[in-house]
Structure 1
Amino acid sequence: MDASKVQDLLRFLSKDAKVPLASAMGNIPALQKANLNSPEEISKSNTKVLEELFKNDKIAKQVFNAAKRVSKKRGSSTDDTAISPQAKNNKSTLITKDATPYQIESRLCLPNSTASDDELRNIILVTNRAPLVLAFALCVLKYTMPEQPISSRLSLAQALVSANSQSKAISIGIQTERAAEEEGWGDGQPVVKVLGRGIRVLKRWDYDPQEGSPLQSASEEQEPNEIPVNEFIGSSNGDDNPEKTPPLWGIDLEAVRKSHSEATKSESKSGNKLPIFTAESARSYLIRSITRLEESKSPVKKSKSAPFMGDEQEKNVGHLLHAIDSVCFSWSTTLDRPDLDKRAWAWYLRVRPDVQSGAQGWGEKGQLRLSDILDLQRKP
């Protein structure tokens, strides 16, 4: 079995079936020997076979039920993309005032592709650099800050994009004044690293992303399309851990400067009423910024209905995130979190669209081959 299929099988075991990574890696040879090389093949097997392989009844059931879920999801789809039910039913991700934190997080779910690596290699997207930075940040945060819910990851990723855009605007002469962070507007606020850059954050101590979550039934009773909880509300560090990092917001320092005068600067620094990057706007920006090459050239693009175009855009984003996640996942067992964070920025620089870097090319779109991203995967 080639390396890409091994990675796909390992990703299925550790992410979909929730098998501990060490156990998943150790059982790959046994699964290969039994010709169980994919979720589809596993779903056609039975729990007794899996119990003999994993030597654990509970894990065997987890793997079998996860394989059935994944296989059913792929079989019922008319394309290669599986988008969460929450995302499909809430295209605009409108969040009502009475929504629970769990509902908020579920409505922010990002599309996910079930395409194989071979299928992804044939896809060429069209985008500019900022959305690609956002996508890389979202994927790497899942590994470097797994406790953060999707709302926080979107906010932190957008904060990184904004900071990079400010630096770029200054370097090419579009903006003449110093960045707000250089003027001290973020002083006193905590800092986290995202793709090697320090981002000022606001801690959300009163926010529990699991609030309002339905009771989780046994794994064999889960709905076929149910998303694993920690995919969007973050993994738990243990409620009794005093050093647990709470959910975070990325602070919009430029908005702080624009909305406050010098007389109230000290109040802004103290963290009172600080403007933040909202998760909804970050998600919307990513979805509308990625197109597929043949779609961008299509003369009938304008005649397509808005819902259809929304579906296509979500599929494109799903493919992109899946490709980047494959790279992060392949390195996650080798690199520690700080190194993975640094390496991800280097990966972005290698695959970013080749567009003009001067003022005339600011925001210009270019082609992005997903094969270039997949080539960054760690070789076994």
Structure 2
Amino acid sequence: MVSVQEVQSLLHFLSKDAKVPLGQALGKVKDLQAAKLLTPEQIAKANFQSLKTIFEDEKIARQVLNAAKRASKKRTLSDPSGLGPTPASSPKKIKPLYGQSLTPSEIEASLALPEAINNEDILKSKTIFTNRAPLVLAFTVALLKFTMPEQPLSSRLSLAQAVVSMNSKTKAVHIGIDSGKTAEDEGWGEGQPIIRIMNREVRVMKRWGYEWEETSTKEKVKNEECTVREEDSTQGALVGDNPPTEAKEPALWGIDLEALKKANYGSNSHKGSSQLPIYTAQGARAYLLKSFETPKAALTDSEATPVKRTAASLTAEKERNLGMLLGALELLYQSWAQVLSKEDLDRQAWGWYVRIRPEVASGQAGWGEKGTVKLSDILELRRSVDQRM
């Protein structure tokens, strides 16, 4: 029986060391398990033709084999005996190269966004400088906290990024920057569940077995005994023979349809391919953290040349700006959440975004252009005091 820890280690090796896309790595775990290839050492000794059969691509198979050989060599150099250090010869604990994946709760903690700032006096005087895509991302992440509160932060970030990317692709085709139909219009991802976010239908993958909240000891033991029977998974958390029976909705990933289309273009793979690329939570978080600047004040001839800012101070400023933006959005959604259903709140959110987004040139000239956003404009969209009484 294969433990969750062994599968976590295998996924870590495939995605980090062998550079196999996570969606594809997830789809190959069961085949590697059947072939008893669960560690870099085992893969390094495997017959290349077997790997080629599993990965269905000679280049990727060679990539995995070479990565396994490098990993095995590193481990051998760090422990020539292969037995591990004895307490007498090496009192310091050596960190394993593999097998130390983060727990789901640790993953969620690592994705924490800056604390939302809800002080209205501060927010009313704040203006940020950004472009439209990350603003949509912030709007959606904040929205999902109210419309899908059962989802972990990793899922909310992934789903929000799906909305942003699909909107950007549609816009790029519309203004002539990109050609052809979108993967969404061509039907890629058919067969996968659909949810509606910001008036956009998003294809999702269910992350059965991903328990990001603390569980009892008994449940943890049960999870450790599970074996891989599905290709649907998450960053290190896998499922057993059947989906959970409890009513709790599983966590979700947003599927990257354009990446799916690109990976399967010209191949014989069907549009419902099991190798599903996803929008990563880490990527969405990084995009948010770097995207909200403070507008540069117009300098006059009488003003001295400003002191050059350090990278650290600029990063801190952007994170604080994000915290203020999230605070303003939370106040907006809170004011309406008591009277609107989750579905109606979702429908209204896009219109609110349109009303405060940066003004940019039309067509291709405005693609990626930045502009200012007054947080006071977001606050003015709130349900009025009279309406709340």
Which residue of 2 is the match for residue 348 of structure 1?
353
Higher Rg: 2
Out of 253, 258, 269, the residue aligned to residue 254 of structure 1 is 258
Write the distance in 2 (CA, Å) between the matches of 1:140 and 1:349.
15
Q: Name the residue aligned to 1:325.
A: 330
Instruction: Flag the 1:240–1:279 CA change in 2: closer, same or farther, 3 A.
Output: closer
TM-score, length basis structure 1: 0.64
**CA deviation vs aligned residue, 1:73-124 (integer Å, no higher than 9, x gap):** xxxxxxxxxxxxxxxxxxxxxxx95211111101101112335112201001
Conservation of the 8 A alpha-carbon contact between 1:126 and 1:296: no
Partner of 1:68: none
Map 1:363-374 onto structure 2 (within 5 A): 363-374=368-379
Q: CA deviation at 1:242?
A: 3.8
- DSSP 3-state at the match of 2:267: helix
Q: Is 1:136 equivalent to 2:139 in the alignment?
A: yes
Distance 1:143 1:363, change over 3 A: same
2:284 to 272, 282, 285: 282
Q: How does 1:225-304 map to 2 (within 5 A)?
A: 242-266=246-270, 269-270=272-273, 272-294=274-296, 300=306, 303-304=308-309
Whether the 8 Å contact between 2:259 and 2:277 is mirrored in structure 1 is yes
Can you give the 5+ residue segments of structure 1 that lack an aligned partner in the other structure? 1-95, 215-238
User: In 2, are the aligned partners of 1:100 and 1:211 still within 8 Å (CA)?
Assistant: no
Equivalent residues of 2:114, 2:323 under 8 A apart: yes
Residue 151 (structure 2) aligns with: 148
AA aligned to 2:186 is E
Structure 2: how far apart are the matches of 1:300 and 1:330?
40
Q: What residue is the counterpart of 1:104 in the other structure?
A: 107
**Cα shift readout 1:294-324 (whole Å, capped 9, x = no counterpart):** 47989657x3332222211110100001001
Compared CA separation, residues 305 and 338, structure 1 to 2 (3 A)? same
1:358 offset after TM fit, Å?
Answer: 1.1
Is the contact made by 1:102 and 1:212 (CA closer than 8 Å) also made in structure 2? no
In 2, the alpha carbon distance for the partners of 1:337 and 1:195 equals: 11
1:117 is matched with which residue? 120
Tell me which residue corresponds to 1:66.
Answer: none
Q: Tell me, in whole angstroms, the C-alpha distance in 1 between the residues paired with 2:376 and 2:245.
A: 41
Distance 2:371 2:185 in 1: 31
CA shift, 1:160, in A, is: 0.2
2:7 alignment partner in structure 1: none
Confirm or deny: 8 A CA contact 2:152 2:212 kept in the other structure: yes
- The answer to whether the 8 Å contact 2:188/2:261 transfers is yes
Aligned position for 2:176 = 173
Sequence identity (%): 47
1:169 deviation in Å?
A: 0.4
Greater shift after overlay, 291-300 or 109-118?
291-300
Inter-partner Cα distance in structure 2 for 1:324 and 1:264: 45
Aligned residues: 258
* TM-score, length-scaled by structure 2: 0.62
* Structure 2 CA distance for aligned equivalents of residues 299 and 200 of structure 1: 50
2:379 paired with 1:377: no
Structure 2 CA distance for partners of 1:253 and 1:331, relative to 1, 3 Å: same
The change in CA–CA distance for 1:296 and 1:273 in structure 2 (over 3 A counts) is: farther
Structure 2 residues not aligned, in runs of 5+: 1-98, 218-242
Closer/same/farther in 2, CA of residues 211 and 263 from structure 1, 3 Å limit: farther
Structure 1 SS opposite 2:269: helix
Question: What is the root-mean-square deviation of aligned Cα atoms in Å?
Answer: 2.4
* SS of corresponding position for 2:382: coil
1:53-68 matched pairs, under 5 angstroms = none
Cα pair distance change 1:240/1:204, threshold 3 Å: closer
2:210 is aligned to: 207
CA–CA distance in 2 between the matches of 1:246 and 1:150? 13
In the superposition, relative to structure 1, how do residues 115 and 206 fare at CA in structure 2: closer, same or farther (>3 Å)? closer
- Alignment partner, residue 194 of structure 2: 191
The residue that corresponds to 2:130 in the other structure is 127
Quote how far apart the aligned CAs of 1:165 are.
0.3
Separation (CA, whole Å) in 2 of partners of 1:310 and 1:178: 37
The ranges of structure 1 where at least 4 consecutive aligned residues each deviate by more than 4 angstroms after the TM superposition are 211-214, 295-301
Q: Please give the alpha-carbon distance, in whole angstroms, between the structure 1 residues aligned to 2:268 and 2:200.
A: 27
User: Any conservation in 1 of the 2:118–2:331 contact (CA below 8 Å)?
Assistant: no
- CA–CA separation in structure 2 for the residues paired with 1:257 and 1:295: 44
